[in-house]
Amino acid sequence: MSEAQPVSTQPSGFAPQPGIVQRLLRLKPYFWRQRNVWALAVGATLVAALTEPLIPALFQPLLDSGFAQNSLPLWSIPLVVIGLFGLRGLAHFVSQYALARVTNDGMEKLRSDLFAKLVRADLSLFNRQSASALSNTVVYEVQIGASQLVSALIGLTRDGFTLLALIGYLMWLNWQLTLVVFTVAPGLSWIMKVLSRRLYGLTKESQKATDDLAYVVEENVLAHRMVRLHGAQAQQIGRFNALGQRLRRLALKTTAASAAMTPLTQIMAAVALSLVLVIALEQSREPGSGATVGGFVAFITAMLMLIAPIKRLADVANPITRGLAALERGLALMHDAPEESQGDHRVHRAIGALEWHDVSVQFNPDGAPALAQINLSVKPGETVALVGTSGAGKTTLIQLLPRFLNPTDGQVLLDGVPLAHWQLDSLRQQLAMVSQDVVMLNDSLAVNVGLGDKPDRAKVEQCLQAANLWAHVQTLPQGMDTKLGHNANQLSGGQRQRLAIARALYKDSPILILDEATSALDNESERLVQDALQKLMQGRTTVIVAHRLSTIEHADRVIVMERGRIVEQGAPAELLAQGGAYARLHHRGDWASDVPAQANTPA
């Protein structure tokens, strides 16, 4: 099996802003909506930070007045200590709760906007990015990124305030010694800058490696039958393990870069502590210095309390970097997913006249065109069948109708109006499609029939009856409220096809597209489906991509295609009598060459 590589998820033409402030400002529409809650979180964090220097401040009177002079009232000690820690605890609770409010609100808004963007995005996005990468961005990256970033920013605020409060207290106690502490600041700043840059690059690489790993899982889940048929399990395990090893190496590099901050910070703090101890002892020996044991212990305690916030500030680079990278990826998806272009023409119900004027479709500039100069008209209510061997361009031709593809040259018209001028919702409301690849949602049967609408139960029942499926629905545990599971795995192939027909009946569109709707069914299933299709086709403009004679025997006209061109068209009997391309296909049964391997699916 060829190893299809995942498309890079880094959009072209998009690069994160170099400055962290600029990158944070891009998240403002999502995380600044709860600005009052932000203010509450920051205020509570400030209160908690301001209580930090009060802890060493207790030592000075306790040592100088309490132990040395016995002048402190005993009842005041537990009152002050309990009150201080009670205030810290309350501030911490308020800060954490407000933080959770901000995080979840911003995350929900960004995730909602991303999903809305995804379901309206231009279809080219799904050719550039894998399903696993898109779902990973919308579901996991946003959640992880928001949690890490907001938590890190609150931690940065808390530890920043704590540092300022402790440094202010140290300056008040002894400004000369405090200046010694400042000697570590330039070195610490340089370390954080270098390691943060390293972490950002590693995080981007890890995201790409995670996408590649998820893509292999997705690919093997979708292609599990083919992998087993060709005995490719060992090959795919090796492929997965190679990507897993790459992700492991990147994780270890990220851990090394993050963990390096702690010992480097501690070494610099130890150097500062050593200098402070030497200078403080030297000062205490000077006559009239006024140094006391309580003041010295308070200074050393406050200085040692600096280590914890400095260490956390050193470590905060990793979650901020990872959080920003994850959220920027969501913003990149917003930037990289323009919505489908559309016009403003809309009608309640189209007449159903279709025209292709000099339509060409070219997927590869260096290859043969998928469609070349197609000119075709379909009258309202007419049934036309497209036949031809694999690769003739039949499916490409019908994919132009709902604008899943756009022509390279020429234009397609509905009721005389170019499709590009139609409002997309209105255009697609005029079309119903039944194909061999039936897709159902993991929801109730009624919701799948009335997809896009609040299902009318009476109408759903009528459509199921017309699709020859009502008898089976009555045997299901919850009837039409039965959940279908992953892609309706509780139903057989023929039942899924009839459910798709019921959905098309419910939609009641004037134009019907049948894309090989019976190619994978056995004879009994095909008979039931054909009966349902005849009811569905009544009074509608119908375009059929056919592989079986039974599918086109009631067609008004047959369009024979070869290599992206129309080579014959006319009534089936007339074309058969002419002995041309259609007659050759008819006698050889060549259009059956596209029938998938899982044919003869039981009803």
Name the pLDDT band for 517 (thresholds 50, 70, 90): low
Highest mean pLDDT among 11-15, 307-311, 371-375, 527-531: 371-375
Q: Which of 130-144, 205-219, 534-548 has the lowest mean pLDDT?
A: 130-144
Name the pLDDT band for 77 (thresholds 50, 70, 90): low
Residues 6+ apart with CB under 8 A from 142: 107, 110, 111, 114, 326, 327, 330
User: Coil, helix or strand for 444?
Assistant: strand
pLDDT at 498 over 70: yes
Distance of CA 289 to the CA centre of its chain: 65
Which residues are registered as beta bridge partners of 434?
514
Q: Calculate mean pLDDT across residues 84-94.
A: 84
d(CA 364, CA 552): 32
Tokens matching residue 94: 């308020």
Mean pLDDT across the chain, nearest whole number? 77
Render pLDDT for 436-478 as a digit per residue (tens, 0 to 9): 778 788 788 888 888 888 888 899 888 888 888 888 888 888 8
pLDDT (0 to 100) of residue 414: 94
Highest mean pLDDT among 18-22, 274-278, 438-442: 438-442
Beta strand 409-414 pairing with 541-545? unpaired
d(CA 368, CA 446): 44
Model-level pTM greater than 0.95? no
pLDDT (0 to 100) of residue 215: 79
Render pLDDT for 47-69 as a digit per residue (tens, 0 to 9): 888 887 777 777 666 666 555 45
Residues 6+ apart with CB under 8 A from 440: 448, 484, 487, 488, 496, 499
Render pLDDT for 211-267 as a digit per residue (tens, 0 to 9): 888 878 877 776 776 677 667 788 888 888 888 888 888 888 888 877 777 777 777
Residue among 579, 580, 539, 572 nearest 553 (CA):
572
Q: DSSP strand E in 28-134: where?
A: none
pLDDT at 16 over 50: no
- What's the per-residue H, E or C state across 325-390? HHHHHHHHHHHHCCECCCCCECCCCCCCCEEEEEEEECCCCCCCCCEEEEEEEECCCCEEEEECCC
pLDDT (0 to 100) of residue 290: 55
- Structural domains in the chain, CATH included, are 20-336 (1.20.1560.10), 349-430+512-526+542-603 (3.40.50.300), 437-508 (3.40.50.300)
d(CA 539, CA 556): 13
Name the pLDDT band for 4 (thresholds 50, 70, 90): very low
pLDDT at 380 over 90: yes
